[in-house]
Chains A and B, each alone.
Chain A
Amino acid sequence: MRFGEVQGVLLVRYRGTVVVTLKETIFDPQGEAVKNSLVAMGFSSVTKVRMGKHIIVYLEALNEEEAREKLADMARRLLANPVTETYEISLVEVPD
Chain B
Amino acid sequence: MTVTVRFGVVVFPGSNCDSDVYHVIRDVLGQPVDYVWHEETDVSKYQCIVLPGGFSYGDYLRAGALARFSPVMRGVEEYAHDGGLVLGICNGFQILLESGLLPGAMLPNDCLEFRCGWVNLRVDNVDTPFTLEYHRGEVVRMPIAHHEGNYVLEKDPLEAVKKHCGITFTYVDESGRPTRDSNPNGALLNIAGIVNERGNVLGMMPHPERCSEEVLGGADGLRVFRSVVRYYS
Query: Which residues of A does B touch, CB under 8 Å?
Result: 22, 26-27, 29-30, 33, 53, 78-79, 81, 83-84
State whether A29 touches B108 (Cβ < 8 A): yes
Query: Which residues of B does A touch, CB under 8 Å?
Result: 61-62, 65, 69, 97-98, 104-105, 107-112, 152-154, 186
State whether B69 touches A78 (Cβ < 8 A): yes
Nearest CB of chain B from residue A65's CB, rounded to whole Å: 26
Known: A26-B152, A78-B61, A78-B69. A83 touches B108 (CB 8 A): no
Nearest CB of chain B from residue A22's CB, rounded to whole Å: 8
Contacts of A81 in B (CB 8 A): 62, 65, 98, 105
Query: Which of B61, B98, B108, B154 meets A79, CB within 8 Å?
Result: B61
Contacts of B109 in A (CB 8 A): 29
Contacts of B97 in A (CB 8 A): 83
Q: Which residue of B lies closest to A81 (CB)?
A: B105
Query: Which of B112, B152, B186 meets A83, CB within 8 Å?
Result: B152
Nearest CB of chain B from residue A55's CB, rounded to whole Å: 8
State whether B153 touches A30 (Cβ < 8 A): no
Q: Which residue of A lies closest to B112 (CB)?
A: A29
How far apart are the CA atoms of A78 and B60 in the complex, in Å?
11
State whether A33 touches B105 (Cβ < 8 A): no
Known: A83-B105, A83-B153, A84-B105. A78 touches B110 (CB 8 A): no
How far apart are the CA atoms of A76 and B195 in the complex, in Å?
25
Nearest CB of chain A from residue B67's CB, rounded to whole Å: 12
Query: What are 19 A-to-B residue pairs whose CB atoms are below 8 Å?
Result: A26-B152, A27-B186, A29-B111, A29-B186, A30-B108, A78-B61, A78-B65, A79-B61, A81-B62, A81-B65, A81-B98, A81-B105, A83-B97, A83-B105, A83-B152, A83-B154, A84-B105, A84-B107, A84-B152
Q: Which residue of B lies closest to A28 (CB)?
A: B107
Known: A78-B69, A83-B104, A83-B153. A29 touches B110 (CB 8 A): yes
6 tightest Cβ-Cβ pairs between the two chains A and B: A83-B105, A84-B105, A29-B110, A81-B105, A29-B112, A81-B62
Q: Which residue of B lies closest to A27 (CB)?
A: B110
